[in-house]
Amino acid sequence: MKIEGRNSVFEALKSDSITVNSLMCEKGKSDSIISLARKSGVKVTFVDKKVLDKESTEGRHQGYIADVVEFEYCEVEDILNVSRQPFIVILDGINDPHNFGSIIRACECAGVDGIIIGKNRQVAVTDTVVRCSAGAVSHVKIARVTNVNNAIKQLKDNNVWVYALDMDGEEITAVNLKGAVAIVVGGEGNGVSQYARTLSDGIISLKLKGKVNSLNASVACGIALYEVVRQRG
């Protein structure tokens, strides 16, 4: 997998969970990214910008493209073991890599202990996701499971309260989110699946005052996360 862009490459180099095999830099670069790469024993190659342009998937390399080992997912148990009162996000069918990357970034900023995604109907961690997360993917545990609904059951068996973020639920500020909690965020088109809603301990909603009756998945997720942060103090 390739990671490109200054922030994404820098965070990957600092991460203990991502292995950088090599780094291509634009000729003339000399900064902390290159110093860190060399200190970490990463092979650094300087090339013309046109070479990076050719290797780049989205044309946003900013002079850096790193070749890394494919993203290493963790287990649900690893997330549960992070804290006595874990703060978890479950993604139920996020297909847009830009949304996924933005959600990872929001989760890292909000102190989420881990993210759970499904193997089906869900975009995996790709180079686009890494770039959109601004490197945050290097610092967040992500578990990829065969069945999201079974993961919800597993969390509940471990005394985690699970809330689906969807329409027609209780206004989020009225719900106690201070303990061990998981927020289920649905896909861009269909929202949280009916079965996931049924399994959840409750449905929470955001108060919308405009004429548009829905928010982008990553925006809604970010608002919900910071309500949890607010309540936890």
Which CATH number do you get for residue 187?
3.40.1280.10
Same domain, 86 and 143: yes
* Cα–Cα distance list, 213 to 39, 71, 119, 206 (Å): 51, 35, 29, 10
Same domain, 63 and 81: no
Same domain, 198 and 98: yes
Q: What are phi and psi of 69, to 5 degrees?
A: -65, 145
pLDDT of residue 123: 92
Please give the average per-residue pLDDT across 12-35, as a whole number: 88
Query: Could you say which of 68, 95, 116 is where a domain stops?
Result: 68
pLDDT of residue 109: 97
Helices (H), the chain: 6-14, 32-39, 49-55, 76-80, 97-110, 127-132, 148-157, 194-199, 217-232
Please give the average per-residue pLDDT across 11-17, as a whole number: 83
Residue 22 is part of a domain; what is its CATH number? Answer: 3.30.1330.30
Query: Could you say which of 68, 97, 122 is where a domain stops?
Result: 68
Same domain, 125 and 86: yes
Same domain, 39 and 86: no
Q: What is the pLDDT of residues 134-172, one digit of tens each?
A: 889 989 999 999 999 999 999 999 999 999 999 889 999
Query: Could you say which of 16, 42, 68 is where a domain stops?
Result: 68
Same domain, 34 and 100: no
Same domain, 47 and 129: no
Same domain, 149 and 116: yes
Using alpha carbons, select from 2, 14, 102, 8 the residue that is nearest to residue 62.
8
Q: What is the pLDDT of residues 70-97, one digit of tens each?
A: 888 999 999 999 999 999 999 999 999 9
Same domain, 92 and 41: no
Same domain, 117 and 208: yes
Same domain, 30 and 129: no
Domain range spanning residue 102?
76-232
Please tell me the distance from the alpha carbon of residue 139 to that of residue 17, in angstroms, as a whole number. Answer: 8
Give the total number of structural domains in the chain: 2
Please tell me the distance from the alpha carbon of residue 206 to that of residue 29, in angstroms, as a whole number. Answer: 46
Using alpha carbons, select from 16, 10, 15, 11 the residue that is nearest to residue 31.
10
Same domain, 13 and 97: no
* Cα–Cα distance list, 200 to 92, 144, 152, 221 (Å): 12, 19, 8, 16
Could you tell me the pTM of the whole model?
Answer: 0.82
CA angle 22, 28, 33 (to 5 degrees): 45
pLDDT over 80 (residue 214)? no
